[in-house]
Amino acid sequence: MNSIEVKGFKIPLVGLGTWTLRGRECARLVEEAIRLGYRHIDSAQMYGNESDVGEGVRASGLRAEVMVTTKIQPTMLAPRDVEASVKESLRQLKLDTIDLLLIHWPNPRVPLADTLGAMSKLKAAGITRQIGVSNFTVALIEEASRIAPDLVCNQIECHPFLNQDKVIAACRKHGMAVVAYSPIARGSASGNKVLERIGKAHSRSAAQVSLRYLVQQGIVVIPRTSKAARLKENLDIFDFALSDAEMADIHKLSGRGGRIVDWTWSPQWD
Let me know if residue 157 belongs to a domain.
yes
Let me know if residue 203 belongs to a domain.
no
Considering just the CA atoms, what is the radius of gyration of the chain in Å?
18
Confidence check: pLDDT of 54 > 70: yes
Tens of pLDDT, residues 152-179: 999 999 999 999 999 999 999 999 999 9
Task: Assess contact for 84 and 116: CB atoms under 8 A.
Answer: no
Given pLDDT bands bounded at 50, 70 and 90, which one contains residue 1?
low
- Which domain range does residue 124 map to? 10-187+215-226
- Please give the average per-residue pLDDT across 21-46, as a whole number: 98
What integer pLDDT is reported at residue 258 of this predicted model? 80
Confidence check: pLDDT of 181 > 80: yes
Tens of pLDDT, residues 186-195: 888 999 999 9
Tens of pLDDT, residues 252-270: 999 765 888 866 544 443 3
- Please give the average per-residue pLDDT across 83-89, as a whole number: 98
> For the residues of 64-109, what is the DSSP string, one character each?
GG-EEEEEE-GGG-SHHHHHHHHHHHHHHHT-S-EEEEEESS--TT
Let me know if residue 253 belongs to a domain.
no
What integer pLDDT is reported at residue 269 of this predicted model? 35
Domain count, the chain: 1
Average pLDDT across the chain, whole number: 95
Let me know if residue 197 belongs to a domain.
no
Closest residue by Cα to residue 105 from 262, 223, 258, 255: 262
φ and ψ of 85, to 5 deg: -70, -35
Residues 6+ apart with CB under 8 A from 27: 52, 53, 55, 56, 59
What integer pLDDT is reported at residue 29 of this predicted model? 98
What integer pLDDT is reported at residue 116 of this predicted model? 98
- Please give the average per-residue pLDDT across 36-54, as a whole number: 98
pTM of the model: 0.95
Let me know if residue 202 belongs to a domain.
no
C-alpha 79/C-alpha 85 separation (Å) is 10
What integer pLDDT is reported at residue 268 of this predicted model? 41
- Please give the average per-residue pLDDT across 58-62, as a whole number: 98
Let me know if residue 198 belongs to a domain.
no
Let me know if residue 164 belongs to a domain.
yes
CATH code of the domain containing 127: 3.20.20.100
Of residues 260 and 48, more confidently modeled = 48
Tens of pLDDT, residues 189-230: 999 999 999 999 999 999 999 999 999 999 999 999 999 889
- Please give the average per-residue pLDDT across 20-26, as a whole number: 97
Let me know if residue 199 belongs to a domain.
no
- Please give the average per-residue pLDDT across 41-54, as a whole number: 98
Residues identified as active-site: 47
Confidence check: pLDDT of 51 > 80: yes
Q: Comparing 10-14, 94-98, 260-264, 266-270, which segment has the lowest mean pLDDT? A: 266-270
The share of the chain scoring above pLDDT 70, in percent, equals 96
